[in-house]
Amino acid sequence: MTNRQNPAQPDDSAETAETAEPPPTAGDADATEPPAAAPAPDADPTPDAEAAHDPETAPWTGRTAWVFPGLVALFGAVAVWGALTIEAPPHSPPPGPGVVPGIVGALLLLVAARMVFVNLRVARRIREGAQAPGAPGVDWPPVGIIVLTLAVHVALLEPLGWLLSGALLFWGVAYAFGARTWVRDAVVSLSMSAAVQVGFSLGLGLNLPGGVLELVL
Amino acid sequence: MDAIVLLRDGLAAALTPGNLLWAFCGVLLGTAVGVLPGMGSAMAVALLLPVTFQMDPTSAFILFAGVYYGGMFGGATTSILLNTPGQASSIATTYEGHRMALGGRAPQALGTAVIGSFVASIIGTLVVALFAPTMVDFALKFGPGEYFALTVFSFVAVAAVVSGSVLRGVASLLIGLAIGLVGIDGQSGAPRFDFGSPVLLDGIDIVIVTVGLLALGEVLHVAARGRNAPDLASIRAGKPWLKRRDVRRSLPAWLRGTALGTAFGPIPGSGAEIPTFLSLGAERRLAKRREQRGGGESEFGKGAIEGVAGPEAANNGSAAGSLVPLLGLGLPTSATAAIMLAAFQQYGLQPGPVLFERNGDLVWTLLASLLIGSVLLLVINLPFAPLWARLLKLPKPYLYAGITLFSVLAVYAINASVVHLVMLIGVALLAFVMRHFGVPVAPALIGVVLGPIAESELRRALAASAGDLSILVDSGISLTLYALVLIAAFIPLVSRVRRLRAERRERETTGAGTS
């Protein structure tokens, strides 16, 4: 049992060392005090304001702080559910197909719990008057356009064919990134898509769906 | 000495103008295919296999060697320039390589990658030529127990690519492991996490995960940052050549990477991923230790040239190393090696212990053509490094639209399945959430790649011992690896605690005055 859990060992020992540390300077980078513009223990403190906000070390605050712990918990719950419901075929050797999912799921739940704990600690410190760090906002419109374009592309790929849906994808993403020269964008999109289709079908023998154009030609 | 004479004869047979032309074409084709996201050298070699049916064996091998090396360099090119590795073995290159590119040092990163590949292939091929029998013996000592220890060791190397919170790194690794669980369980045949979809029974293809987590995730992340995003077009190409300081720092990294790659390449199933990550971890540690001794600041996290030189050398070193089991045992240890095996069989060669005696001339020709391939790679791609770097000068909308188009294409090319594309969007959204919350995606990739290997080796070992756990620690190799795991986990912990103590003391003394 001990050996099987070895992958997690560095983490486990890190946890214990962390909690052994007295609260004011908790050992985890998650808990670095918000106001100190806190650089990670191993990142160099730079005077540059842009570099000071490193998303990998900034603590999570506000309501969105619970999104990621929730996601981790969801993964963990699904893995544990799988471990309990996977049916091992008869005569399979001792460590069955559910053992490793069980371990992974349990560790995921453990990590989620730890994240919740860190979040609570950060929230308490902010309530006590520490300044909440400003997180960079998300520019939602371009992200939404790209995801929507991808979804439309996937939906139309087989009925419409690669040439048109590929061009649509290229144009949609370019638009999201601020391309507004309509004619040039359309020409570039269509020629990229066509080049890919020709190059791959002729050169590499990969068949991309022809779609409606197949019916016309 | 025998081997050197034989290798010289092989070179003599391989070095004809016609063959050089094949090698040239191979390198160009390989680089072109390798540049596409999700398509590595294995794909390039597979696509060319039918073409070579008409060729004589020597020319075919030379073409393969060129394509192979070209493909690996192509993967490194996109890793560095666009943060989109073409294959699992160039993932390790992205971390420091892309940061170098953002810092205006793209040509240097490409240069150190191409020279590192060259150094590693030359040394690796020579080592294989001279020590193949000894290396076969060592590789045969690796049973499931040892192999599991090796994967555990690689998981610890995750620490190498996590710069911030350990907790988030572990979360990312576990998410990767969970993704890797999907599909039919290789040991028992039980379907796992298929949610009733027949496509999920095959598992989530590594191409989907790589392209989604890195390429599309990056596109979404850049889009979300709007005007705060780094402007790739403003990257100045800078001086194309490596400065003396760059060479001085790259050289030891090249050699260490070569050693790691050549040592791990022959181990069945290990592929090139483990040595590349081990090399990245080793370079990072060494740089930090040098910094602590006052020997120059560690540039890791900001684009350290060692972090490109080491993994790229390890990648090519392991490619040469993987020839050992292929030629000596007839055992392919990577996807590309498996395709090469098919090529051998096409020429009536039966790889195995007697190959060197029965078809010695062809084997030496093959080794010689690998040498030629790596020389040509250097000759062709070193001058082109600054040219490739200009790819970043494309208008930003077109650049990212192109990345998206090729990402979708790479995934659709796996099996012409629309379900794969839906999975791709899902993985890309996951990557976007992770990036937004500052969770590193690298450990997730390591988990997806190595998780299934670790699980099957663990269960194979336990099945062989009828559930007796002592099989995991009953050999010198395993014990050494576990000892290294403990040391690797323990050292950063001690130094972190020590540093925090020092920081606290400092804050107590200075903080009293200011606040």
Please state the φ and ψ torsions of residue B192, each to the nearest 5 degrees. -130, 135
Contacts of B170 in chain A (CB under 8 A): 8, 11, 107, 111
- Residue numbers in B near A179 (CB within 8 A): 395, 397-398, 401
Residue B138, min C-alpha distance to chain A (Å): 24
Q: Please tell me the predicted confidence (pLDDT) of residue A167.
A: 94
B411 vs A: CB within 8 A: no
**Are residues B320 and B262 in contact, defined by beta-carbon separation less than 8 angstroms?**
yes
Q: What is the mean pLDDT of residues B25-49?
A: 71
Q: Does the structure show a pLDDT above 50 at A134? A: yes
Residues A122 and A164 in one domain: no
A148 and A171 in a common domain: yes
B224 interfacial to chain A (CB closer than 8 Å): yes
Question: A176 in a domain, yes or no?
Answer: yes
CB contact under 8 Å between B489 and A13, yes or no, is: yes
Which among A28, A142, A151 is the nearest to B167, CB-wise? A28
How far away is chain A from the Cα of B433, in angstroms, using its nearest Cα? Answer: 8
Predicted pLDDT of residue B336: 66
Residue B184 DSSP SS3: strand
Q: Give the pLDDT score at A22.
A: 39
Question: Residue A162's domain spans which residues?
Answer: 140-216
Specify whether the CB–CB gap between A150 and A169 falls below 8 A: yes
* A132 in a structural domain: no
d(CA A186, CA A189): 5
- Residue A79 to residue B188, Cβ atoms within 8 A: no
* CB spacing of B165 vs A157 below 8 angstroms: no
pLDDT tens profile B152-192 = 877 776 655 565 677 888 899 899 999 989 988 877 778 88
Would you tell me which residues 56-115 of chain B have a C-beta closer than 8 angstroms to some C-beta of chain A?
Answer: none
For B103-214, strand residue ranges (E) read 183-184, 191-192
Asked if residue A45 and residue A14 are part of one domain, the reply reads yes
Total domains in the fold of chain A: 2
Cα–Cα distance for residue pair B472/B480, rounded to 1 Å: 12
In order of B11, B120, B149, B325, B453, the CA distances from B128 in angstroms are: 15, 12, 25, 10, 25
CB pairs under 8 A between A and B: 270
pLDDT in tens, B439-471: 888 788 778 877 887 888 888 888 888 778 888
A4 pLDDT more than 80: no
Query: With an 8 Å Cβ cutoff, are A55 and B435 in contact?
Result: yes
When CB atoms are compared, the residue of A4, A14, A150 closest to B425 is: A150
Q: Give the mutation candidate from A143, A147, A168, A201 for the B interface (greatest B CB count, under 10 A).
A: A143
Q: Which of B159, B408, B493 sits opposite A169 (nearest CB)?
A: B408
pLDDT of residue A52: 44
B504: contact with A, CB 8 A cutoff = yes
> Quick check: B229 contacting A, CB < 8 Å?
no
First to last CA, chain B: 73
- A114 to chain B: closest CA residue: B167
Residues of B in contact with A14 (CB under 8 A): 166, 489, 493
Q: Which of A76-90, B202-216, B385-399 is least confident?
A: B385-399
User: Does residue B32 carry a pLDDT above 90?
Assistant: no
A120 CB neighbours in chain B (<8 A) are: none
Show the tokens assigned to B231. Answer: 């402007």
CA neighbor of B447 nearest in space, from B78, B176, B142: B176
A133 domain residue, yes or no: no
Residue A95: its chain B contacts at CB < 8 A? Answer: 458-459, 462-463, 467
Same domain, A118 and A152: no
Same domain, A92 and A13: yes
Out of A90-94, A162-166, B480-484, which region has the weakest mean confidence (pLDDT)? A90-94
Q: Provide the 3-class DSSP secondary structure of residue B183.
A: strand
**B153 contacts in A (CB within 8 Å)?**
none
Residue B432 has pLDDT above 70, yes or no: yes
Reply yes or no on whether the pLDDT at A3 is more than 50: no
ipTM of the complex, rounded to two decimals: 0.75
In a domain, residue A22? The reply is yes
Find, in chain A, the residue whose alpha carbon is nearest to that of B413.
A206
Query: Does A188 fall in a domain?
Result: yes
Of A75, A94, A127, the one marking the end of a domain is: A127
Beta-ladder partners of B183: B192
As a dihedral over the C-alpha atoms of residue A77, residue A79, residue A82, residue A86, rounded to 10 degrees, the angle is -160
Residue A84 lies in a domain: yes
Residue A120 within a domain: yes
Task: For chain B, give every domain's residue range.
Answer: 2-474
Question: A127, A161, A176 — which closes off a domain?
Answer: A127
User: Higher confidence at residue B239 or residue B430?
Assistant: B430
- Please indicate whether residue B260 or residue B382 has the higher confidence score (pLDDT): B260
**Residues in B 456-475 with any Cβ partner in A closer than 8 A:** 458-459, 462-463, 466-467, 469, 472-473
Contacts of A97 (CB under 8 A, 6+ apart): A86, A88, B185, B187, B188, B190, B192
* B409 in contact with chain A, both atoms CB, cutoff 8 A: yes
Check whether residue A172 and residue A96 sit in a common domain: no
Residues A84 and A169 in one domain: no
Q: What letter does residue A134 receive in the DSSP assignment? A: P
Q: Tell whether B51 is within 8 A of chain A (Cβ).
A: no
Shared-domain flag, residues A31 and A123: yes
User: Per-residue pLDDT tens for A104-118?
Assistant: 999 999 999 999 999
Residues A64 and A167 in one domain: no
pLDDT band of residue B109 (cuts 50, 70, 90) is: confident
Whether residue A102 sits in one domain with residue A70? yes
Asked if residue A91 has pLDDT above 50, the reply is yes
Higher pLDDT, B90 or A213: B90
pLDDT of residue B471: 80
Distance CA B228, CA B206 (A): 31
Euclidean distance between CA atoms A184 and B408, whole angstroms: 23
Q: What does the alpha-carbon distance between residue B373 and residue A72 come to, in Å, rounded to a whole number?
A: 46
Residues of A in Cβ contact (< 8 Å) with B429: 147
In a domain, A167, yes or no: yes
B-chain residues near A4 (CB < 8 A):
458, 469
Q: Is the pLDDT of residue B412 over 70?
A: yes
Q: List the single residue in B with minimal CA-CA distance to A93.
A: B463
